[in-house]
Amino acid sequence: MKIKKLILGRINNNTYIISNENSCIVIDPSMEYKKIIGYIKENDLKVEAILITHAHFDHVYSLYELVMDTGAPVYMHEDDFWLYEKSVEKLRTKEVDVQYPLKGGETLELIGEKIEVIHVPGHAEGCVCYIIDDNMFTGDFIFKGSVGRTDLPTSNQQDMNESLKKFTKIDRDLKIFCGHGDNSSYYEEMNNNPFLTGLK
């Protein structure tokens, strides 16, 4: 399994392309679509699925184009459908069907890998993390040394607190791939992230 991280757009979104042989999944197709589809074509990859961590506009920026070009199905938490509609209005693009609404707690089987879905509301109602092998894709839930904002209309501090408590119970040696910024690890965040150290 190979993980390609693309840093895209004016706010440095991380889009991830996870491939296994000639199949791949794309997590959070952001801005600069030509770079996303360019990598896919250059490596002769078939997009098996598109996974959304949450539906803020910068994380679904290129979703329409990617679906139109690849026909890949979309996975998104059902609590973010309304937010996706708002993002589509903001982007002035067209909405795509979400063929696989998520609730959290599912185990998906894609590109020959099992993918755990964890619902972590707080930054947005439908925030999810995806765990693939020993890799955790956190979107804007956990950052290196920080967490996602909770002062937005989509946010709820109490939900974030509960999600952070859920995170502390994972207790696995995971590499963490965030929606913005540098990579980290589960235990690095548990030991150094000020939003988590008091919850142990």
Question: Which tens digits make up the pLDDT trace of 15-40?
Answer: 999 999 999 999 999 999 999 999 99
- Residue 199's pLDDT band (cuts 50, 70, 90): confident
Model pLDDT, residue 200: 59
**What is the residue-averaged pLDDT of the chain?**
96
Model pLDDT, residue 84: 96
- Which string of DSSP letters, residue by residue, matches the chain? -EEEEEEETTTTEEEEEEEETTEEEEES--S-HHHHHHHHHHTT-EEEEEE-S---GGGSTTHHHHHHHH---EEEEGGGHHHHHHHHHHHT------SEEE-SS-EEEETTEEEEEEE--SSSTT-EEEEETTEEEEETSEETTEE----STT--HHHHHHHHHHHHTT----EEEESBS--EEHHHHHHH-HHHHTT-
pLDDT above 90 as % of the chain: 96
